[in-house]
Amino acid sequence: MGVVLDVKSGRLVAAVKAPEAARQRSTPGSILKPLFLTAALEQREVLPQTKVFCRRDLHIREGNREWNLACTHPRSDAAFAAKEALAYSCNRYFAALADRIPPRQAAAILESYGLAPTTPTSQEQKELLVLGVAGVTVSPTQLAIAYRKLALELADAQAPAALDAVREGLKDSVNYGMAHNAVVPGMEIAGKTGTASDQGQSWSHGWFAGTGYLGHKEYVVVIYLPRGNGADAALLAQRFFLATKVSAASGRAVSAP
């Protein structure tokens, strides 16, 4: 499933399986991280240079469930500041970020992007919400609308300088981080991947959400893979960007591959 929006107008440019893309609700996983980071930087709850040490292990126990949220980034025993933490999708960093924001605000941040979370009632629930593994489900269409809002905020000339960490972190995510499969030489692509499972499912699904310029126009692209992981979704995003690059070069309009 995929959704492509024109950032400036918000117009739906292309959708693969459009009705399902609007209806399907799934656990978002790491795809929410840039939304929380943007809000926490704006509120000065974290500073761009605030570092968190990561050994890649993270376990959260909530109710009768135990969550293994080990990081998958290559570097271990490293201290990450905001930009790198986003590029490497560091769960430890974002659990620490969750601890700095009040529960009601954690929910309000997602609501401001058009999502409908449950307000967390414990520290563990709040961490799970920020990590996108519990407390909220999203549709590809909802996520595309949320990322369009984020793209507009990041492009705003009045935006605080601290948001450079989000801008750069999303680009680095594609350049060398967890969304590297989406890279297309010569194209500026910024994005994030997510891998998560829905309750009661033994398999994972994959997300990619990001933006890319085609000529002077910026597009939001969201890919949802019902089975797979974020790296697979990023690869599909790359295919889309490559196809649009070719069609733009030949003078045709943007369309879904």
Site membership for Zn ion, residue 167 (CB under 5 A): no
The one segment of 27-35, 88-96, 125-133, 189-197 that binds Zn ion by CB under 5 A: 88-96
Site membership for Zn ion, residue 54 (CB under 5 A): yes
DSSP string, 23-81: H--B--GGGGHHHHHHHHHHTTSS-TT--EEE-S--EEEETTEEEE----SS--SEEE-
Site membership for Zn ion, residue 71 (CB under 5 A): yes
CA distances from 256 to 1, 172, 194, 245, 249 (A): 11, 25, 22, 12, 15
Instruction: Name which position in 4, 7, 13, 90 contacts Zn ion (CB under 5 A).
Output: 90
* Residue keyed to tokens 């996983």: 29
> Considering the complex, what minimum distance in angstroms separates the CB of residue 54 from Zn ion?
3
Which run of H or of E encompasses 195? strand 189-196
Site membership for Zn ion, residue 31 (CB under 5 A): no
Number of residues that bind Zn ion (CB under 5 A): 4
The one segment of 20-28, 90-98, 200-208, 242-250 that binds Zn ion by CB under 5 A: 90-98
Site membership for Zn ion, residue 92 (CB under 5 A): yes
Site membership for Zn ion, residue 131 (CB under 5 A): no
Amino acid at 133: V
Site membership for Zn ion, residue 82 (CB under 5 A): no
